[in-house]
Amino acid sequence: MLSLLIVPLLLTGGFELGGRVGVLFPASGLETNHGDAALFGVDFGYRTGPNVFTLEYRYSGLHAKEASPYRLDINEPAIGYGRDFSLGRAGATSDWGLEGSVAAGFGLLSRTLGSARETGAAPSGHLDVGVFQRQGHSRLSLTLDNIVFSESQSAGSSRTVSLTYLIALKGGVAYVF
């Protein structure tokens, strides 16, 4: 029965490969010691109509604001779902609109200060909103990405959860097969 649902999905959709670059802005306390940083990413997805299912990878390296050798590296694989809300002419060769997506990831973090290095990992969530322009097989996008990393730690006999927010403004290009 499941194969009867998957076959039409595979026949009506297509694969998508893209890359993104942007600027990452630290927030929730990180902005006092960290400056803005470049963000790089690669996306592989399967698109069926306005829906897309993606596997993503993102990297960014935050530096200290002062002239310090401190660095915070963020490597993050994620899986996501997105949807396009077309506002352009339906059926035309050029199409534009709004997009929204959610993703769950796993941040592999490392802090480096001189020769000292500390590593860790934290689950993350993404909520993206943006605009896109599609023409033929090409797709351009500009997206605002809200990133939340969560951390759980013990505080006496209970556990506390702390959240770290990052904001990214990304431009992307993709090719739909």
Percent of the chain with pLDDT over 90: 53
Q: pLDDT confidence of 145, banded at 50, 70, 90?
A: very high
Instruction: Read off the pLDDT of residues 28-69 as tens digits, 9 standing for 90 and up.
Output: 777 778 888 999 999 999 988 889 999 999 999 988 887 788
Rounded CA-CA distance 30/26 in Å is 5
pLDDT at 12: 54
Q: Residue 2: beta bridge partners? A: none
pLDDT at 127: 96
Rounded CA-CA distance 108/1 in Å is 38
Q: Tell me: pLDDT of 11 over 80.
A: no
pLDDT at 63: 87
pLDDT at 170: 96
Give the angle 60-47-134 at the CA atoms, nearest 5°. 80
pLDDT at 86: 75
- The answer to whether 95 touches 84, Cβ cutoff 8 Å, is no
Q: Which domains does the chain have, with CATH numbers?
A: 16-176 (2.40.160.20)
pLDDT at 125: 95
Collect all residues with Cβ–Cβ distance below 8 Å to 128 and sequence separation of at least 6: 82, 99, 100, 101, 102, 103, 143, 144, 145, 146
What is the pLDDT averaged over residues 119-148?
Answer: 92
pLDDT at 45: 95
Collect all residues with Cβ–Cβ distance below 8 Å to 67 and sequence separation of at least 6: none
Collect all residues with Cβ–Cβ distance below 8 Å to 13 and sequence separation of at least 6: 46, 47, 48, 49
Average pLDDT of the chain is 86
Instruction: Read off the pLDDT of residues 69-97 as tens digits, 9 standing for 90 and up.
Output: 888 899 999 999 999 887 766 555 558 89
Encoding tokens for residue 13?
């959709």
Q: Which residue has the higher pLDDT, 113 or 169?
A: 169
